Structure 1
Amino acid sequence: MSEATTAPRIAVIGAGFLGSALASGAARRGLAVTVIGRSDPYGLGDSASPADVVFVPGCGAERLPEVLRSGVDVVVIAAGGHFPVPSGSEPAADVIGTLSLVIPVCELVRAESPGTAVVLLSSAGAVYALGTEPKRESETAEPTSPYGMSRMVAEQYLAYYGRVHGLRTCALRCSNIYGRLLPRTRGQNVVSAAFWSALTSTPFTLHGGGRQIRDFLHVDDFVGATLDLLAGHQQLPRVVNVGTGVGHSVSDLISAVETATDSVVPTVPGGAAITDRGRLVVDTTLLRSLIGFEPLGLAAGVALMARDVGKR
């Protein structure tokens, strides 16, 4: 571990699910946080006062120079590219969208504020291959989708900027994060899809018989772990898994949603693509060596999400 720091000033690029959750969580801790995004879709001003979260409208890294000049310790990239499903039909656009953000961010930090760390929210589920054992950061990435390929290449660019230009960079390989009812048109997040089916009686498409096992992490645990990492260490490892280290099947997830909502999730059989079967759980040994981390279990996390959905 390196020397601890306190109260990092954070800039988050992207105001979507993870970006807005991270910004709101930072504000609740009293941290100075700025969000750069096309829009404010989740109403950051509703969850934290304007004094806590500064929202800067902009696309990509175009507004980053002025934010860096105001003083930033960490830039978190929570945007770029497509969602996993759409990336399959537009692989070139996905990688261009990802790298056209990651590379300019690193170049701007290098020129304007070389002491600022750059952290990428990557994807464990997209980067690792399926396997029987929990995936360690040292394992070779074997993406099975254009989305995963883009994340892998983005991670390599961060490593390049660290190795050649001395930037402090880190990729957080996040497991399946849930905790907010996301739009059904988004094409990802199996937990939100199960909730929508429970709430609307719309059939849930059960790929691979629901036997595939994944690592489900509540968004509050993701936010807590990320902020603890940013606050506690000046030099993070190049890659850190962020997950629970525990696997549950999609069928287990459906049962948890049914219990939490006191509803039935109707299902219809779907296909069994390579990404819809097998086991993918992350090893959290490195994460737990860096911070104290005890995430919610699946049942408790789904119950918390159900309570939050009920407040809508």
Structure 2
Amino acid sequence: MTENRTDRPVLVTGGCGFIGCNLADRLAARGNAVIVLDNLTRAGVRENAQWLKARHGERIDIVTADIRDSISVIGAVREASAVIHLAAQVAVTDSIADPVADFEVNARGTVNVLEAVRLHNPTAPVLFASTNKVYGRLIDDAQIARADQRYQPVSSELADGITENAPLDFYSPYGCSKGTADQYVRDYSRVFDLQTVVMRMSCIYGPRQFGTEDQGWIAHFLLSALRGDSLTIYGDGYQVRDALHVSDAADAWLAALDHIGSVRGRVFNLGGGPSNSVSLLELIALLRELTGRDVAHSFADWRPGDQPWYVTDTSALFNALGWRPKIPLREGLISLHEWLASRFGESGKREAFA
């Protein structure tokens, strides 16, 4: 049995972005009314908005507003049964170029959301999209070793991935702003008794992701392969991430929302885990197999805060909600390839990869 379900809409900030529109779609498909609050400034979001309206009509109410505008946030929060807060500035490079704007969106915007809930709708759960970047670089060069086409940690204690007990170490303005928001969300549960959950996400990928060099790297790599564009790898390519398909991510978010009473105040790492980990060079090899094309690439210096290795330990989510990833990386890449190929008019060779 689920908890806290009402006829009032669920508010999804940033709901026309990649993860947001997938979550809004899932909510509407199961019968929830949804308010999507988005400033509609990023590439692809207007197309995602049209897609949501075409699929769900009046069940989706799209409000064009910015989370930096506290009045607009209050208006949306007042009506909501729950708030899923995804709106953010998402690129490390943009945060370095304009740290103040990054802070205003990620840190101040999140406080605007929390204050709107605290003052005007304190029973509404708040689920927040954080990031593994709150852990900083995480491990030093001496703590990793190369194995074939990837880095791996020297210590066997990290074999299952990074737990929520890893110390925070914000690195880059983006890491600082998201980490600040992360801690505000957690603290509003402790101090003001709000029903909050923090999801520290690793690499999420899947349909409706318009990948760029700065965000959504798996989609960016695949789209570059389809277009025949050359990739730039920052670092040496042996760095490792775990990848989670967006449908699996949505399962985790909805499970936390539906059982907020048992997970309120918690922080979870959300990712694909060791079985879905991949290095940049390994992904290029997979994409070459998937598309039947060479993937041209060059190398550039590491960027501030880049992690040589990050893999999520998902045991906390499993123990709390029975959640675990279901879609293996190869299968998930096929679904992303099919969507990108249909969206951008490119053909691929699915049969060679299946």
Q: When the two structures are superposed, what TM-score results if normalisation uses the length of structure 2?
A: 0.80
Question: Residue 332 of structure 2 aligns to which amino acid in structure 1?
Answer: G
Give the Cα separation in 2 of the matches to 1:124 and 1:161. 20
Residue in structure 1 matched with residue 21 of structure 2 by the alignment: 20
1:270 to 272, 281, 300: 300
Give the Cα separation in 2 of the matches to 1:38 and 1:277. 30
Q: SS of the counterpart of 1:209?
A: coil
Work out whether 1:305 is the aligned partner of 2:333.
Answer: no
2:117 to 109, 129, 140: 109
Work out whether 1:99 is the aligned partner of 2:104.
Answer: no
Residue in structure 1 matched with residue 3 of structure 2 by the alignment: 5
Matched-pair contact (CA < 8 Å) for 2:221–2:284: yes
Give the Cα separation in 1 of the matches to 2:232 and 2:283. 13
| Alpha carbons of structure 1 residues 82 and 179: separation in structure 2 relative to 1, 3 Å | closer
Alignment of 1:217-236 (within 5 A): 217-236=244-263
Give the Cα separation in 2 of the matches to 1:44 and 1:112. 27
Give the Cα separation in 2 of the matches to 1:175 and 1:111. 32
2:316 to 286, 295, 300: 286
Give the Cα separation in 1 of the matches to 2:56 and 2:172. 39
| Alpha carbons of structure 1 residues 144 and 53: separation in structure 2 relative to 1, 3 Å | same
Matched-pair contact (CA < 8 Å) for 1:128–1:135: no
Give the Cα separation in 2 of the matches to 1:159 and 1:103. 12
User: Which stretch shows the higher mean deviation, 202-211 or 281-290?
Assistant: 202-211
Give the Cα separation in 1 of the matches to 2:104 and 2:339. 36
Matched-pair contact (CA < 8 Å) for 1:83–1:186: no
Matched-pair contact (CA < 8 Å) for 1:85–1:188: no
Give the Cα separation in 2 of the matches to 1:67 and 1:181. 25
Alignment of 1:144-159 (within 5 A): 144-159=171-186
Residue in structure 2 matched with residue 141 of structure 1 by the alignment: 168
Residue in structure 1 matched with residue 144 of structure 2 by the alignment: none
CA RMSD of aligned residues (A): 2.2
Residue 73 (structure 1) shift: 2.6
1:42-97: per-residue Cα shift (whole Å, max 9, x none)?
Answer: 33342422232111122214333333333x23211111335222112222321122
Residue in structure 2 matched with residue 260 of structure 1 by the alignment: 290
| Alpha carbons of structure 1 residues 185 and 308: separation in structure 2 relative to 1, 3 Å | closer
| Alpha carbons of structure 1 residues 258 and 178: separation in structure 2 relative to 1, 3 Å | same
Give the Cα separation in 2 of the matches to 1:263 and 1:28. 37
Give the Cα separation in 2 of the matches to 1:184 and 1:117. 30
Matched-pair contact (CA < 8 Å) for 1:12–1:35: yes
| Alpha carbons of structure 1 residues 200 and 92: separation in structure 2 relative to 1, 3 Å | same
Q: SS of the counterpart of 2:127?
A: strand
1:161 to 188, 193, 200: 188
Q: SS of the counterpart of 2:165?
A: coil
| Alpha carbons of structure 1 residues 43 and 4: separation in structure 2 relative to 1, 3 Å | closer
Alignment of 1:45-84 (within 5 A): 45-47=50-52, 48-60=55-67, 61-70=70-79, 72-84=80-92
Matched-pair contact (CA < 8 Å) for 2:240–2:280: yes
Question: Residue 56 of structure 1 aligns to which amino acid in structure 2?
Answer: V
Residue in structure 2 matched with residue 295 of structure 1 by the alignment: 326
Q: SS of the counterpart of 2:334?
A: helix
Residue 220 (structure 1) shift: 1.6
Give the Cα separation in 2 of the matches to 1:208 and 1:242. 24
Matched-pair contact (CA < 8 Å) for 1:212–1:250: yes
Aligned residues: 309
Matched-pair contact (CA < 8 Å) for 1:82–1:97: no
Q: Identity percentage over the alignment?
A: 28
1:207-265: per-residue Cα shift (whole Å, max 9, x none)?
Answer: 33311011111112111221122113324243111111122111121122222222221
Matched-pair contact (CA < 8 Å) for 2:197–2:267: yes
Question: Residue 111 of structure 1 aligns to which amino acid in structure 2?
Answer: L
Work out whether 1:32 is the aligned partner of 2:33.
Answer: yes
Question: Residue 327 of structure 2 aligns to which amino acid in structure 1?
Answer: L
